[in-house]
Amino acid sequence: MKRLLAISDIHGDLKKFERLLKLVQYNSENDQLLLLGDYVDRGLESKQVIDKVIELKKDGAIALIGNHEKMMMDAFQGDPMSLKRWYYNGGIKTLQNYGYDIAKDDAKFWYTTEEMPDLIEMNEEIKEHIQFLHELPYYYETDTHIFVHAGVHPTTLLHETDQHTLVWIREEFHQGYAGPKTVIFGHTPTKYLHNSPEVYFGKNNIIGIDGGCAYGGRLNCLEVESLKIIYVE
């Protein structure tokens, strides 16, 4: 039986990601890798992380979408507000990683101003990656577990849940979930769940694994069956 390994919220930190895969001795023949989204933004190597995810997916990994990938895709749909939202959530670093020159590269500025950015065109590299992101599912379910980026709605059937909810939900899920399956999720750094970088084991059958890598924290890997945690700082 293959080990189930779950990792979430890499946020452009390729070095930590590769160190973690090496530390857990990941082998696609023996392991099923589950990547729970947020590959991009805030870190310096989002493009390279997506390249790595594409490579791992070809080798059998299951990759889900996160809210930052959703913002990245929405930013090119022709709505200045969607681009602005991505700018102030870390998208500027991602665009610079793809070779874009952003005149006002201050995320805080875009959060506070009424000004709207000029729309931008996809270059070939980013176009290929966005096509890949559009193919990613929003959740993965087994007989015993649900793997998802942000969480599930406590009272809505999983297959009927709005995609926005699956990549953005927080407190309503953290406090209200009472389903029979264990939900493994990222999105909310664990320090906000229990004031610690440690993996969060909630009383209501939920496990949060976002160690805050985007903010200089940990990148966690959870061995699902044994509940063993391997991490890099």
Return the pLDDT at 15.
97
Candidate CATH numbers 2.60.40.10, 3.30.470.20, 3.60.21.10, 3.40.50.1360; the one for domain 3-68+133-232 = 3.60.21.10
Q: Where are the domains of the chain?
A: 3-68+133-232
- pLDDT, one tens digit per residue, over 131-174 is 999 999 999 999 999 999 999 999 999 999 999 999 999 999 99
pLDDT at 103 over 90: no
Backbone angles phi, psi at 232, to 5 degrees: -120, 145
Return the pLDDT at 192.
96
Averaged pLDDT score across all residues of the chain: 96
Q: What percent of the chain has pLDDT over 70?
A: 100
Is residue 187 within 8 A of residue 150, CB to CB? The reply is yes
- pLDDT, one tens digit per residue, over 104-119 is 999 999 999 999 999 9
Return the pLDDT at 64.
98
DSSP assignment of 140-163, as one string? EE-SSEEEESS---TTS-GGGS-H
- pLDDT, one tens digit per residue, over 39-86 is 999 999 999 999 999 999 999 999 999 999 999 999 999 999 999 999
